[in-house]
C-alpha cells in the first residue's frame, strides 16, 4: 500500500525528494508468496484428519474420523475411516 503511494508521488513528479529516496532504498516486495518444490517419488505427503460424525456401535456410539493422505509427487490419494486417533491407529493408516 505504501509502495503504491510512494510510486504515485514520484510519478506525479511532486516536490517530494523523500519519496524518491525511499523508493530507491526500500526493497521491492516479493511477487511469489509460495515455494515451488520438486519432491522425489515417495519423499513427501500431505496428511489430514477430518471428523465425520458418530457411528452407532453395540453399547453406544463412537466417533468416526477420516484419515486422508496425498502424495505430493503423483497426487495419489489414500483415504481410510478410523475410530480413534491413537498413535498406533495413525501409524497403521500410514503404512497400509
Give the pLDDT of residue 23: 76
Give the pLDDT of residue 61: 93
How many residues belong to the chain? 96
| Rounded-to-integer distance, Cα 22 and Cα 73, Å | 43
Give the pLDDT of residue 66: 93
Q: What is the full per-residue pLDDT of the chain (96 aa) written as tens digits?
A: 566 666 665 556 554 677 777 777 877 777 767 777 787 887 888 889 999 999 999 999 999 999 999 988 888 898 999 888 888 877 777 776
Q: And the C-alpha cell for 37?
A: 518444490
Give the pLDDT of residue 56: 92
Residue carrying C-alpha cell 515417495: 42
Amino acid at each position: 500500500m505504501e509502495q503504491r503511494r510512494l510510486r504515485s508521488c514520484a510519478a506525479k513528479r511532486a516536490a517530494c525528494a523523500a519519496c524518491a529516496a525511499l523508493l530507491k532504498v526500500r526493497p521491492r516486495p516479493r511477487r511469489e508468496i509460495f515455494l515451488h518444490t520438486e519432491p522425489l517419488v515417495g519423499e513427501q505427503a500431505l496428511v489430514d484428519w477430518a471428523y465425520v460424525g458418530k457411528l452407532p456401535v453395540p453399547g453406544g456410539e463412537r466417533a468416526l474420523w477420516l484419515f486422508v493422505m496425498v502424495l505430493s509427487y503423483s497426487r495419489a490419494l489414500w483415504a481410510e475411516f478410523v475410530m480413534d486417533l491413537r498413535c498406533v491407529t495413525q501409524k497403521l493408516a500410514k503404512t497400509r
